[in-house]
Structure 1
Amino acid sequence: MSALYEDRDAAAAAAEKIKIFAQSQRLMILSCLLRGERNVGEIADVTGIGQPALSQQLAELRRADLVQTRKEAKQVRYRLADENVALCVRNIEAIFGSEGNLELPPVARPTLQSPPAGGVAGFARVL
């Protein structure tokens, strides 16, 4: 896998995929499905999204290959398509979730210590 700055097509594909996540109702549905497979009624109950909007957003998620379906009797059950989708949703929740706290912790930077006296390779030690 190359870095996105090295591949314009890969960067464009990633940007298109991110657009799917960047809609509140779809993100709520994906977050709901992160907790397990559900049918439309269960998703509606948990998210509070009305039936017409929910069906529209689920269709969009299916077209984007972010969710998969399974027929169970007369009901259709939805689940996240794969572990990569689950990883994306978990990361979005980790960054933006819980009490709406958007502040990120400061980046930890290594500190350099003075080399020990008489130690030839001491300069290379970073703790």
Structure 2
Amino acid sequence: MNINIDPLSNISLGNAKVVSDFLKVLGNENRLIILCALSKHELKVGEMEHLLGIRQPTLSQQLARLRATDLVNTRRVAKEIFYSLASNDARRTIEFLCELFGNQNFDLKSKRANTV
């Protein structure tokens, strides 16, 4: 059953579940930083480890979760595996978040206080 909560809203209950699941994946700081890096470049695990400062076991665990949720694609060349974002929708969302929060010390409480 697809019911719009608000006639002005473009999100249905079914879509809200998809969005909620997507945001849960982004709720991990390591996964978020991995996705931000992949929004700019296709990368190998070793490159991500070096660029992001995430140790290989943690990186592998988080990449497995991202693969399981279909947010990243893999491409194998010989023994190397390259990772990239799986969809343009994910890329646009990640780029927006990285731009919004990336180059500032973001304080949700002060932002909320300034908007009230």
Q: TM-score normalized by structure 1?
A: 0.74
Deviations along 1:69-94, whole A, 9 cap, x unmatched? 00011011101112111101111012
Name 2:10's counterpart in structure 1: 3
Structure 2 CA distance for aligned equivalents of residues 70 and 34 of structure 1: 16
Over the matched positions of the two proteins, sequence identity in percent amounts to 35
Name 2:17's counterpart in structure 1: 12
Name 1:32's counterpart in structure 2: 37
Q: Which runs of 5+ in 2 are unaligned?
A: 1-8
Structure 2 CA distance for aligned equivalents of residues 100 and 88 of structure 1: 20
SS of structure 1 residue aligned to 2:81: strand
Letter in 2 for 1:78: Y
Taking the TM superposition and a 5 Å limit, the aligned residue runs for 1:1-127 are 3-4=10-11, 7-102=12-107, 103=111
Q: Which runs of 5+ in 1 are unaligned?
A: 108-127
Q: TM-score normalized by structure 2?
A: 0.80
User: Which has more helix, going by share of residues?
Assistant: 2
Letter in 2 for 1:71: R
Corresponding residue pairs, total: 103
> How much is the aligned-residue C-alpha RMSD, in angstroms?
1.8
Structure 2 CA distance for aligned equivalents of residues 40 and 23 of structure 1: 18
Q: Which has the larger radius of gyration?
A: 1
Structure 2 CA distance for aligned equivalents of residues 89 and 98 of structure 1: 14
State the 1:99 CA deviation.
Answer: 2.5
State the 1:95 CA deviation.
Answer: 1.9
Structure 1 segments (4+ residues) deviating >6 Å = none
